[in-house]
């Protein structure tokens, strides 16, 4: 398996523009997570899905952020409108089974977002 | 302890020396603790998932122990090598909502 795939790897956009980040989890994994990494706050969980259903989105910073998982092999994280404070590295991760137990999370390479 | 805390924040170790660092977490209601290794410009890579008090896990020169009653886990690296330079993250899985909470990491630098 190619692992968790994210695109784009780098995104530079102007304030106010819409940004869409994409993720393809490992085939067969039931859970998909979106994280944001910043210097100030470290690695934060934004939202996670189980079998394509959002389970916990309490980490999503505000209404400008939305995430979808239309099928088992694809998820998007959208920011509209984007702001400079959204600049961060966004990671997607997946795991099989009940992840809180004995299952490791596999991270994608991340998308480095810069909003100017 | 209300959050996940890691110490030290940063550590410089001579190549060949052994080292260890700590992850502290809430000791009431434990579910699971994860350790990850994160190299610069890469993504976090899972090292261990620990679920039972007294767990001890090993992967090559790296090992980890878990004490859920007192709320800490140690990560040990034996005979440090340059490729061990990375940030080591621990993550606590909160039982009441399954939320995973990451520590800020220990940044390890191996000196040649």
Q: Which residue has the tokens 């961060």?
A: A88
pLDDT tens sequence across A2-21: 899 999 999 999 999 999 99
B3 is written with which tokens? 């959050």
Going by pLDDT thresholds of 50, 70 and 90, the confidence category of residue B110 is: very high
Backbone dihedral angles phi then psi of residue B84, each to the nearest 5 degrees: -80, -10
CB contact under 8 A, A108 and B34: no
Minimal-distance CA residue of chain B relative to A111? B43
A40 confidence band (pLDDT: 50, 70, 90) = confident
Rounded distance between C-alpha atoms, residue A56 and residue A76, angstroms:
15
Q: DSSP 3-state assignment of A43? A: strand
pLDDT over 90 (residue B103): yes
Q: Which residues have C-beta within 8 Å of that of residue A109, sequence separation ≥ 6?
A: A4, A6, A9, B42, B43
**pLDDT classification of B96: cutoffs 50, 70, 90:** confident
- Among residues B76, B36, B37, B72, the alpha carbon closest in space to that of B54 is found at B72
Q: What is the largest CA-CA distance in chain B?
A: 45
Tens-digit pLDDT profile for residues A48-95: 999 999 988 988 988 999 999 999 999 999 999 999 999 999 999 999
Contact present, A31 and A16 (Cβ < 8 Å) = no
**CB pair distance less than 8 Å for B46 and A109:** no
Subunit contact A109:B99, Cβ cutoff 8 A: no
Question: Nearest CA of chain A to the CA of B99: how many Å?
Answer: 8
How many pairs of residues across A and B have Cβ atoms under 8 Å apart?
51
Q: Which structure tokens are listed for B81?
A: 């090598």
């Amino acid at each position: 398996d190619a692992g968790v795939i994210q695109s784009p790897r780098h995104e530079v956009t102007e304030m106010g523009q819409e940004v869409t980040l994409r993720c393809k989890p490992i085939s067969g994994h039931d859970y998909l997570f979106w994280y944001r990494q910043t210097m100030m706050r470290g690695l934060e969980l934004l939202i996670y899905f189980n079998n394509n259903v959002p389970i916990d989105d309490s980490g999503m910073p505000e209404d400008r952020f939305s995430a979808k998982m239309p099928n088992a092999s694809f998820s998007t994280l959208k920011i509209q409108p984007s702001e400079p404070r959204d600049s961060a590295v966004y990671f997607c991760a997946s795991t099989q089974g009940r992840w809180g137990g004995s299952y490791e999370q596999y991270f994608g390479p991340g998308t480095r977002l810069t909003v100017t | 302890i209300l959050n996940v805390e890691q110490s030290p924040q940063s550590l410089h170790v001579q190549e060949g020396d052994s080292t260890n660092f700590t992850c502290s977490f809430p000791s009431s209601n434990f579910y699971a603790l994860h350790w990850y290794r994160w190299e610069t410009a890469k993504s976090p890579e899972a090292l261990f998932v620990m679920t039972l008090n007294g767990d001890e896990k090993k992967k090559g020169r790296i090992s980890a122990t878990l004490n859920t009653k007192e709320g800490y886990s140690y990560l040990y690296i034996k005979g440090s090598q340059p490729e061990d330079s990375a940030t080591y993250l621990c993550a606590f899985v909160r039982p009441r909502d399954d939320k995973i909470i990451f520590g800020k990491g220990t940044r390890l630098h191996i000196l040649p």
